[in-house]
């Protein structure tokens, strides 16, 4: 049997992680077995264990896939000639929330309170996304508000923290509002972000 190339291995890992996300969303992490993920992905149990050591490793892979998608989007915002202000950034992120991913995200937070391996995944994913938001807010401050880069990064930190907190709150709301199997056909509605003023260091 020919060996998988690195690219094929990465595609296979992604296929398995996406199947795991769907299973976790429907059944919950505790009630999802490797056999369930095998059936969902169309791959053998042996193939899954060839790419992921255990369920915690699968949770890590699923979190990585979800973060990768958000990271690409946030990176595009930061690179734009006119990056979105914090209110618009939050509105765009919440409008794009997938109820399936929201439920899995909330389950992962719960698991992290008792499972050190899952907690490490959650802390790493949260820190990385906050760093991406920090970069995006800094870009807005520099390109649109015309701050110098160094003070812009300092000012951006509490604003990015606020955006992150509000985004996580919307993830929880979406997870509770949309039971498994009742996902809307379109995107989740955007949060009602304030529009009369931009967040500053004082109100972040």
Number of domains in the chain: 1
Whether residue 38 lies inside any domain: the answer is no
Residue 197 pLDDT > 70: no
pLDDT at residue number 117: 79
Has residue 152 been placed in a domain?
yes
What's 28-72 look like in SS3?
CCCCCCHHHHHHHHCCCHHHHHHHCCCHHHHHHHHHHHHHHHHHH
In a domain, 62, yes or no: yes
CB atoms within 10 A of CB 178: 18
pLDDT of residue 86: 97
Which residues in 23-43 are b (16+ Cβ under 10 Å) and which e? bbbeeebeebebebbbebbeb
Q: Which of 64, 82, 174 lies closest to 122, judged by CA?
A: 64
Inside any domain, residue 42: no
* pLDDT given for residue 70 in this prediction: 77
pLDDT at residue 65 tops 70? yes
What's the whole-number mean pLDDT along residues 191-204? 42
**pLDDT above 90 (res 137):** yes
The most confident of the ranges 22-26, 148-152, 177-181 is 148-152
Tokens for 11? 């595609």
pLDDT attached to residue 183: 58
Is position 22 within any domain? no
Asked if residue 55 has pLDDT above 50, the reply is: yes
Q: Identify the pLDDT of residue 30.
A: 82
> DSSP per residue over 140-193, as a string?
HHHHTS---HHHHHHHHHHHHHHHHHHHHHHHHHHHHHS-TT---SSPPPPP--
Is residue 59, in this structure, part of any structural domain at all?
A: yes
The answer to whether the beta carbons of residues 190 and 94 sit under 8 Å apart is yes
**Amino acid 120: pLDDT:** 85
Say whether pLDDT at 145 is over 70. yes
The mean pLDDT value for 194-202 works out to: 43
**Residue 185 in domain:** no
Burial annotation 86-107 (CB, 10 A radius, 16+ → b, else e): bbbbbbebbeebbbbbbbbbbb
Domain extent for 101? 55-177
The chain-wide mean pLDDT, for the chain, equals: 84
Q: For residue 174, what pLDDT band results from cuts at 50, 70 and 90?
A: very high
**How confident is residue 75, by pLDDT bands cut at 50, 70 and 90?**
confident
SS3 of residue 12 by DSSP: helix
Q: Provide, rounded to the nearest whole percent, the portion of the chain with pLDDT above 70.
A: 85
Q: Is residue 33 part of a domain?
A: no
Which alpha helices (H) appear in 80-145, and where do they start and end? 86-95, 99-112, 116-143
């Amino acid at each position: 049997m020919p060996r998988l190339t690195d690219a094929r291995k990465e595609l296979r890992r992604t296929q398995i992680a996406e199947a795991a996300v769907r299973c976790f969303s429907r059944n919950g992490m505790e009630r999802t077995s490797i056999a369930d993920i095998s059936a969902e992905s169309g791959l053998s149990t042996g193939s899954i264990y060839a790419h992921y050591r255990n369920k915690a490793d699968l949770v890590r892979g699923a979190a990585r896939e979800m973060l990768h998608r958000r990271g690409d989007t946030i990176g595009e915002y930061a690179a734009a000639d006119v990056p979105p202000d914090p209110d618009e950034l939050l509105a765009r992120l919440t409008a794009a929330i997938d109820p399936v991913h929201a439920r899995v995200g909330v389950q992962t937070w719960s698991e992290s309170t008792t499972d050190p391996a899952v907690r490490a995944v959650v802390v790493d994913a949260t820190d990385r996304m906050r760093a991406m938001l920090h970069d995006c807010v800094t870009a807005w401050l520099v390109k649109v508000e015309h701050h110098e880069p160094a003070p812009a990064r300092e000012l951006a930190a509490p604003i990015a923290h606020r955006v992150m907190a509000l985004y996580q709150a919307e993830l929880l709301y979406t997870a509770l509002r949309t039971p498994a199997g009742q996902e809307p056909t379109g995107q989740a509605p955007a949060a009602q972000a304030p529009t009369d003023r931009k967040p500053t260091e004082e109100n972040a």
